[in-house]
Amino acid sequence: MKNLNKMKIILSESQYFRVKKLIESSEDDIDNNVEPTKYTYLSVKLWEKGRTKKYFFNKVKSVEDKNPIPGKIKIVGSSGDFIFDKDKIKIQPEREVISIDKDEFDKNYKIEGSSVPSTIGINSKTILSSLKMAFPDNWMEEDEIYSAGLRVIYTIGDKIGDPLEDWSIMNYFDTKLEIHDLLYLRYKELDSNEDMSDWLVSTFRNDKEFINFLVNRQWKSIESGIKLEKQSVNNVITKLGISDVVYYPFGSKMDRWYGIDVTISGLNCQIKPMSSFYEKDGKYIINTYGMRDYKSKRKVDRIIFANKNQILIFRNSDYDVVSRSKVIFNIEPKIF
C-alpha cells in the first residue's frame, strides 16, 4: 500500500479555487452555526390574552458577546439589560422578537411605566449639537434662505437626482425617535463608556456603515412624502402653465418654518398630492397625504391639491383635518 503521507496531490487552477471555496464556505458554516448569546432590542411590552401573559422584546438583533455565560441569553436595550436562562425564553429571529412568560420575567425584573426611558442621553438637542461638531465644514448657520443645518453631505438631492437640493437627510435625525433608539442600541452594543455627546460625534464622523444604514432608514420614512410633494408641484406648474414661480428648497425657512412650498404669482402656496375628492352638501372631501392644519401659518395664502388630471385651489381657511390623509373644506375651490 502506498504511503498516503508522502503522496503529492496536484490540482489544476480551477480545482484549487473550487476546493478553496469549499473550505471557506465550511468555515462560514461553522461561524454561522454558533448561536448568539446577546441581543439588543428597541422596546419591550407586556402582552396578555386570557391567562397567558408574556413580555415581548421587539426589533431584536443579535450582537457580539465578549463575555458569554453558558446557558444564558443577554438582552440589552433602552428599558434595561436582562439575563435569562436560555430554556426560559423563545427566540424568533424571523419575527425579530424574543418572548418570555411574565411569571418568569417577574422573578428577577420589574418594568414600570414607559418601556422607553427619556433620560438616555440621546435627544434632539444632543443630536443636533453632535452633528454640528462632527461636520463643522458642512454645518451652515441660518441665513436669508436656509435654517441652520447640515448641507452637501448625505443629501436629499443624492436620493432624487437633483444636485440643487443639498439639504442633508441627517438633519431629520433629531425628530425621529426610531433613529434615537437605534443610536442608543449601537452605543449599548459597543459597550461604550464614552460621554454620549463625544460618542455621537465620533460615530457620525467615523462609523460610515452604520450612518449609511441610519440615513437609508430615515430616507425610507420621508421618501414618499418628498417625491409626492415634488411631483405635485410639477403637476401644478405644468397644468396651469405658470411662469411666475418661486421655488423653496428643502431646509429653507419658508418650507420648514412657514409651511410654504412655492410662491405663485405673489401667493404663498402649500401644495399637497391628491388621490381623489368628492363634493357633498357643499363640502369638499379631499383624500391626500401628509395633511395638517396650516391655518396658524399666517403666510400660507393657498392650499393646492393636485394630481396629473385635476387641481383644486383653496384659501387657507375654513377646513377640518380629519387625518393625515383626509381633509374637509367648507368652501368652494377653483378647479382646473
The pLDDT tens digits for 242-282 are 888 998 989 999 988 999 999 999 999 999 999 999 999 99
Quick count: other Cβ atoms within 10 Å of Cβ 7? 7
Phi-psi region at 59: left, alpha or beta (left = phi > 0; alpha = psi -120 to 50): left
By residue count, the chain amounts to 336
- Confidence at residue 112, expressed as pLDDT on a 0 to 100 scale: 57
Report the C-alpha gap between 74 and 37 in whole angstroms: 6
Q: What is the mean pLDDT of residues 320-328?
A: 95
Give the HSE-up count for residue 19: Cα atoms under 13 Å, Cβ half-sphere: 8
- Confidence at residue 32, expressed as pLDDT on a 0 to 100 scale: 53
Residue 150 and residue 144 in contact, taking contact as beta carbons nearer than 8 Å: no
Which segment of 16-25, 224-233, 247-256, 308-317 scores lowest on mean pLDDT? 16-25
C-alpha cell at 331: 368652501
- Can you give the pTM of this predicted structure? 0.66
The pLDDT tens digits for 45-72 are 899 988 899 999 988 888 888 889 999 9
